[in-house]
Amino acid sequence: MAGNQKSRQASEQVRELGHAAVDWISRYIERAPSLPVLSPLDPRDVLASLPQHPPSDAEPFAAILRDLDEKILPGITHWQSPNYFAYFPANSSPPSVAGDLLSSGLGVQGMLWATSPACTELEIRMLDWLVEMLELPQHFLSSNSGGGVIQDSASSANLCAVLAGRERATNFDSNENGCDQGLTAYTSNQAHSSMEKAIKVAGIGRKNLRLIAVDENFRMKPEALAAAIREDKRAGGVPCFVGATVGTTSAMAIDPLEEIGAICGEHNIWLHVDAAMAGTAALCPELRYIHAGLDLADSYCFDCHKWMFTNFDCTCFYVRKRNELTEALTITPEYLRNAASSSGSVVDFRDWHVPLGRRFRALKLWCVIRSYGVDGLRAMVRHHVKLTQMFIEWLKSDARFEIVAPGSLNLVCFRLKGPDSATEALMQKLNASGRLFLSHTKLSGKFTLRLCVGQTYTEEEHVREAFELIQQHASELAMGAR
C-alpha cells in the first residue's frame, strides 16, 4: 500500500485554508450592504498596490486574506450587495457557493461521460428538472429527442445555436467547406450584442445579419422578419438562423415567439430563443406567458447565474434535437475514444459546446434547487417582481420621471423628463454616492436608466432607499441647475 502523505497533508490544508476562506466570505456577505456598491478606484489603483514580481517563497494564507481586504476589496464592485441594481443580477446564494466549493474539491473534468459519469448524469437530471420547473417544451427533455447542457454564458450558447443552425441549413457543408453559401441570419435590433458576436465568430459576417425592426414596446416585428427572409431568399441567400429574445437587455421586451416560430417553420430556419435573465421568471406559473410559443424553438437558453441564485457560470442551453447540435460540434480523436462513448449509450457533453474541458457545474444547481425547493425559489422570484412593481408605482407618483418601457418582470426603464444630460448626471451622482449602482441604455434614442431588482439579498427597504435617493439627487441636481 502506497504511502499517501501528500494527500493527508492536503486534507489538513484544505481544512485550514477552506475554513479561513469560509469565514472571510461569511463576514463579506454581512458587510457587503455597507460597502460602496460601485468601486470608487481609478484605473491602475489596484495594479499599483500589487507586487511587480511573483514571490519565490511560500507565503501564509493569512497574508493573502489580509491583502484581499486591503488591496482587492476596494477594487470590487459589489454584485452581492442588496443595493446592486445595475445591468443584470449575478445573484448567488450560500447553497450555490457551497456546491461550487464541492465541485472545486472534487476537481473532476466532465468532458466525457467516462471521465466522471456522475458529472454528466447529474447534469442531465438537473436540466430535466428545470424543464419541469419552468414548464419548458417536453422535447427539451433528455428522455425525448432533445436535452440540455450547462454552458458558461448565454454568449456561448447563442454561438452554439448559430453553429447548429448554420450546419443544418448547409447540410453540414459549412463545417466541411467553410461559410461561402450566402448565409443570412436574423435578430431584432434590441437583441444582445452576443448575437452579432456569434455571427461574426461563425464566419457568417455582420452584413449578413439582419437587425429586424421592433414595435413601440421593443418587440421584434414578425412581418418585418418575414419580409427580410423573403427578400434574402429572392436574392439567393440561405437564411439559417433567427435569434429571438425573451427579455431584451435594454427593455425586457419579449419577442412574439408564436409568430416568429411560424415564420421559421415555414422556411425551415433554426429558431433560437435567448431568455438569459427573464427565463427564470417561468418558475412562477403566472409569469409563464413569457414563453408562449417556445415550443416552436429549436434551441433555448437562460442563465441560472443571473436570477436563479446560482453563481456564475451556469447557462442552461436546450435543443429540440440533440443530434442536430452534436453533429455540428463533434470530433473524436483516438485519445478520446472509449467503450462507453463508442457504445452510443452515453452523453459526452464535450460535443455540446466549444470547450473540451468542463467543470462539475451541476453540483451547485443541485444544491440550490434542493436547498430552497421549487416553492422557495418561486417565492424569491415573486418577491423581486413585486418589489419592481412597487418601485414603478412610486415612480409614477413623481411627475419628474417618465417610464420609458413597459415595466415587466424585474426591470424598470426610466428617465428624468427633458434632455438626456439631466438623466446622465443623475446616474453619475447616484453611482458616485456608493449607496446604489444602476446602469443605463438608450431606448428610442433617449438616455434611460435601468433598475433591475434581482440580487438575492435585496429587501423592500433597499428598493425604497434607492427610490428616495433617486428623488433626493434629482432634487439636488435641479437646485444646482437653477
Which residue, 132 or 231, has its beta carbon nearer to a copy of itself?
Answer: 132
Asked if 121 is part of the footprint of a copy of itself (rule: CB under 8 A), the reply reads yes
Residue 223 Cβ vs a copy of itself, minimum distance, rounded to whole Å: 25
Residue 418 Cβ vs a copy of itself, minimum distance, rounded to whole Å: 19
Asked if 159 is part of the footprint of a copy of itself (rule: CB under 8 A), the reply reads yes
Q: In the window 139-158, what residues touch a copy of itself (CB under 8 A)?
A: 152-156
Q: In the window 45-74, what residues touch a copy of itself (CB under 8 A)?
A: 45-47, 50, 52-59, 61, 63-64, 68, 71-74
Q: Work out which of 196, 215, 327, 420 binds a copy of itself, going by CB under 8 A.
A: 196
Q: Of the listed pieces 224-232, 235-243, 353-361, 394-402, which binds a copy of itself according to CB under 8 A? A: 353-361
Give the CB-side neighbour count of residue 223, counting CA atoms within 13 A: 1
410's grid cell: 424585474
7's grid cell: 494527500
Asked if 6 is part of the footprint of a copy of itself (rule: CB under 8 A), the reply reads yes
Residue 303 Cβ vs a copy of itself, minimum distance, rounded to whole Å: 8
Closest Cα partner for 362 from 126, 96, 111?
126
Long-range contacts of the stretch 105-108 (C-beta < 8 A, 24+): 105/14, 106/360, 106/363, 108/360
For a copy of itself, how many residues bind (rule: CB under 8 A)?
A: 175
Which residue, 259 or 410, has its beta carbon nearer to a copy of itself?
Answer: 410
Which residue, 296 or 301, has its beta carbon nearer to a copy of itself?
Answer: 301
Radius of gyration of the chain (CA): 24
Which residue, 103 or 408, has its beta carbon nearer to a copy of itself?
Answer: 103
Q: In the window 207-236, what residues touch a copy of itself (CB under 8 A)?
A: 207-208
Taking the C-alpha atoms of residue 407 and residue 130, their distance in angstroms, rounded to an integer, is 26
Asked if 12 is part of the footprint of a copy of itself (rule: CB under 8 A), the reply reads yes
Taking the C-alpha atoms of residue 401 and residue 474, their distance in angstroms, rounded to an integer, is 10
Asked if 327 is part of the footprint of a copy of itself (rule: CB under 8 A), the reply reads no
Q: In the window 166-185, what residues touch a copy of itself (CB under 8 A)?
A: 166, 174-180, 183
Q: Work out which of 62, 70, 138, 205 binds a copy of itself, going by CB under 8 A.
A: 205
Q: Work out which of 145, 371, 433, 471 binds a copy of itself, going by CB under 8 A.
A: 371
Q: Work out which of 223, 461, 472, 476 binds a copy of itself, going by CB under 8 A.
A: 461
Residue 90 Cβ vs a copy of itself, minimum distance, rounded to whole Å: 5
Q: Of the listed pieces 85-93, 225-233, 317-325, 396-404, which binds a copy of itself according to CB under 8 A? A: 85-93
Q: In the window 23-42, what residues touch a copy of itself (CB under 8 A)?
A: 23-30, 32-33, 38-39, 41
Asked if 2 is part of the footprint of a copy of itself (rule: CB under 8 A), the reply reads yes
Residue 482 Cβ vs a copy of itself, minimum distance, rounded to whole Å: 26
Closest Cα partner for 453 from 443, 462, 445?
462
Q: Work out which of 245, 249, 280, 423 binds a copy of itself, going by CB under 8 A.
A: 249
Asked if 280 is part of the footprint of a copy of itself (rule: CB under 8 A), the reply reads no
Which residue, 229 or 296, has its beta carbon nearer to a copy of itself?
Answer: 229
Residue 300 Cβ vs a copy of itself, minimum distance, rounded to whole Å: 18
Q: Work out which of 36, 37, 85, 93 binds a copy of itself, going by CB under 8 A.
A: 93
Asked if 76 is part of the footprint of a copy of itself (rule: CB under 8 A), the reply reads yes
